[in-house]
């Protein structure tokens, strides 16, 4: 049993015994907080402090983002891999759907041009 607890602790620490369960009523509705105001807890510790520490554990254990991925992240909105031409496999279902979409796009453009003119 001791070994099982150690394995569990290496995966994620268990919440402390006194930690309250997170419930929907513990979070204020967006409309309940005026714009520009912040929500703070009274007392020395917020009632969700245990949950915050639990999540912080996972963020601290995350691996660093590789240099290549950090470089690519700003271009993800511009380069959409499924829509780029596929050199090796042009029979790919995604590519075929994209190619058929060109005909539909031309029809849509013609429709919009006729309405605008």
Asked whether residue 22 is domain-assigned, the answer is: yes
14-28 per-residue burial string, b: 16 or more CB within 10 A, e: under 16: eeeeeeeeeeeeeee
Asked whether residue 85 is domain-assigned, the answer is: no
C-alpha distances in angstroms, 29 versus 39, 40, 42, 69, 82? 11, 14, 18, 36, 39
How many structural domains compose the chain? 1
Asked whether residue 13 is domain-assigned, the answer is: yes
Residue that wins the pLDDT comparison between 41 and 71: 71
Domain of residue 7, residue span: 2-62
Put simply, whether the predicted model's pTM sits higher than 0.85 gets the answer: no
Question: Per residue in 8-54, pLDDT tens?
Answer: 444 556 666 666 655 444 555 555 556 666 656 555 677 888 888 89
């Amino acid at each position: 049993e001791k070994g099982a607890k150690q394995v569990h602790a290496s995966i994620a620490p268990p919440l402390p015994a006194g930690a309250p369960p997170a419930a929907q009523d513990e979070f204020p509705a967006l409309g309940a907080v005026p714009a520009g105001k912040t929500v703070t807890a009274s007392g020395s510790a917020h009632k969700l402090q245990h949950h915050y520490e639990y999540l912080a554990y996972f963020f601290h254990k995350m691996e660093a983002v590789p240099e290549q991925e950090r470089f690519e992240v700003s271009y993800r909105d511009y380069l959409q891999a499924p829509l780029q031409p596929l050199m090796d496999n042009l029979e790919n279902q995604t590519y075929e759907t994209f190619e058929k979409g060109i005909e539909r796009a031309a029809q849509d453009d013609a429709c919009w041009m006729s309405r605008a003119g």
